[in-house]
Structure 1
Amino acid sequence: MTYALPAPRRPRLRTTGPVWVVLRLHRVALWTWTAVVVASVLVLLWLYGPGADAALRHLAACTAPGCEPVGGAWGRYKDLYELTAAPIAAAPYAATILMGGICIGRELERGTAQLMWAQALSPARWLATTLAVPTAWFTAGMVPLVALHHLVWSSGPLPRRDLPWHDPDLFATTGTLPLTRVLLGLALGALAGVLYRRAATGGLAGIAVLLVTGVLGMRYRASLWPTATDTGLKALRPPSDAHVLEHGAVLRSTGERIGNNWACVDADSAADLRRCTEQFKDFWVTYHPASHYWPIQLLESAVVLALTGAVVAVAFRVLRKHAP
């Protein structure tokens, strides 16, 4: 009598391990982020194509002196673009709340993390996995979202109308800076979670993200790259796309330098300009031209990445100190 051997079973996809645990525990938040990204990308693709064409036709029809386009295709174009900027601007704070309040703080508060540690998963590996999964998920969504957002801005009518390159909101939602801010939010959330071990710590870390990015953007951004300076009458007409930092004049009578003086800049005629300039012997303007966009973006991103690395190192150190 012969017996047939059972057919070998095909290996099945393994759905165990710490990565799958993190995915299953936080799948609602991660899939919500995915839905937001997909919806925003679809809107941005429309803005890049039909939306931009309609907005340009609307602007071209506004030919009368002093004409300002309001509503219509241009208004819809601008409103939708600003709407797609919202998830990019909010992503660092959402990442902070997810990491600090849900992924780490809540799991430590409930004891879920300690249970995983008791099952041969070291605290360091648990924290690394808990950080890696949301980081990969957020990065995968931010890359196409920010790239399309930047493409729509740079190729459409927005820079010529209301959004110059140095606009603070635009600068924070284009280039490399948005992605590094998300990484900083994840790192600060992780640190707050291991420090306080409560679900409410995500909000505290969000305040830290706001303070750090606000100080960098408002206080130090303009000094990250050497400025350009024009003197003489050329200083009265800086490039239209420049980010002017200081405009000054030197009095002819006393030689006193007056900073932030915009005299003669708005002269209506050559005669008015000549009469105005008679009281000054020199002018100067300090500014960042549009070509400084990428150097400033990359330098500020590097600073944020360095802070992120330091915060992550502190989070692991704190966990090793307090973990059993």
Structure 2
Amino acid sequence: MTQTLPAPARRPRVPRLTGPVRTTLRLHRVALWLWLATVLAACGLLLWLHGPGADAAVRQLARCAPSDCDYIGGPSFRYEQLLRSVGAFVYLTPYIAALFMGVVCVGRELERGTAQLAWVQSVSPARWLATTLAVPAAWFIAGTIPLVTLLHLVATSGPEPRIPWYDEYLFLGSGPLALTRVVLGLAAGALGGVLFRKALAGGVAGVAAFLVTGYLSARYRISLWPTVTEHGPVPPAAPAGAQVLRRDAVTAAGEHVTNDLACVDAGGAAQLRRCARGFQDFSVTYHPSSHYWPLQLTESAGILLLAAAATAAAFAILRHRTP
């Protein structure tokens, strides 16, 4: 009587990336590893700032105020500069993404004919562009999320005096706006590459388009959410941490005088009353710190709309130029 041996258990098959996704990852693997290494270094620096760096700054500030001791070169100064450096890196990441997408991913492939070679095989132009956009977007966003999270944590829990929440680098690098700007940078780079079909021209066009968007955002950001205005017979003080936009004074004749320093630094109640004589009303207009999230989300929504429009334009131009 023969005994039937049980069949060996099959190992579960591990899914592997195939097709355009695998090709895109292999093609840009050096850029991927450089990005991961940079993100890990920046995250390590932020963790150090949240721990030993912040402790050293607190010890220095406990001994003396920055104006009373050697602030330049001290732990507090070093803490602030390193934090701003990471914020500047996150701030510049969308420009890097636009340049990378316009020069390397789209413009160079169209210029060399590599993309056309893929189209005559099994990959349609639309699928090629979708993969070329999606794969770098995945690794850029995956790396930006921990950077933004740690930067927001360090910026909101560091030693006093903290860098204000409306600082350009921190505002654009410590919230959802940082992610949407990366998406827009990638979309602008792809649009430039498809439009010019040249590596250099595509990258320059993508960065230029993003520069225009960044300029308009910085110029009109304070208008994206209603401001707060307070009036008083003497110059009212804005809350701590508020972004003061303007100070106004109204004379007895009804004339409006705009002066950021009007009667603010009068020095003492008696001098303040003498300075205020001849004016019948003062006002201060500002964004309180509670407006951080409304401003972030409102601008992020606008940036996403622009990214969607740029992506749709890139696909439309590619479809129009290919059979």
Give 2:173's aligned residue.
173
Which of the residues 53, 58, 61 maps onto 2:60? Answer: 58
In the alignment, structure 1 residue 192 sits paired with structure 2 residue 192: yes
| 1:8 shift after superposition | 9.5
Give the residue type in structure 2 aligned to 1:291: S
Render the CA deviation track for 1:8-47: whole Å, top value 9, x for unaligned: 9864654531000000011111111111000000110111
Q: CA RMSD in A?
A: 2.0
CA contact (8 A) 2:88 2:169 kept: no
Q: Which residue of 2 aligns with 1:203?
A: 204
- Tell me which amino acid in the other structure corresponds to 2:102: G
Whole-Å separation in 2 of the counterparts to 1:112 and 1:64: 58
Letter in 2 for 1:82: R
Which residue does the alignment assign to 1:315? Answer: 314
CA distance in 1, matches of 2:36, 2:260: 49
Counterpart residue number, 1:273: 272
What amino acid is aligned across from residue 205 of structure 1 in structure 2? G
- Bigger Cα displacement from structure 2, 272-281 vs 135-144: 272-281
Q: Which residue of 1 aligns with 2:152?
A: 150
Change beyond 3 A, Cα 1:287–1:21: same
For the 8 Å contact 1:96–1:206, the answer to whether it is kept is yes
SS of match in other structure, 2:315: helix
Q: Quick one: structure 1 residues 256 and 67, their matched pair in 2 at CA, closer, same or farther if it must change by over 3 Å? A: farther
Partner deviation per Cα, 1:194-244 (whole Å, 9 max, x = no partner): 111111121221121111012111x21011111111101464322231111
Report the counterpart of residue 223 of structure 1 in structure 2.
223
What SS class does the counterpart of residue 283 from structure 1 fall into? strand
The match for 1:17 is 19
1:129 and 1:261 map into 2 onto residues whose CA distance is 52
Q: Which runs of 5+ in 1 are unaligned?
A: none
- When normalised by structure 1's length, the TM-score is 0.92
Q: 1:234 to 1:151 in 2, by over 3 A?
A: farther
Which residue does the alignment assign to 1:94?
A: 96
Partner Cα distance (1:57, 1:40) in 2: 24
Q: Does 1:73 align with 2:75?
A: yes
Gap change, CA 1:64 and 1:303, over 3 Å in 2: closer
Cα distance in 1, alignment partners of residues 321 and 155 from structure 2: 47
Indicate the SS of the match to 2:121. coil
Q: CA deviation at 1:82?
A: 2.1
Q: Which residue of 2 aligns with 1:249?
A: 249
**Do 1:59 and 1:69's aligned partners in 2 also have CA atoms closer than 8 Å?**
no
TM, length-normalised to structure 2: 0.92
Label 1:54 to 1:243 Cα distance change in 2 as closer, same or farther (>3 A): same
| Displaced runs of 4 or more, over 4 A | 6-13, 63-68
Q: Amino acid of the residue matched to residue 231 of structure 1?
A: H
Equivalent residue number for residue 143 of structure 2: 141
Taking only the aligned residue pairs, the percentage that are identical comes to: 55
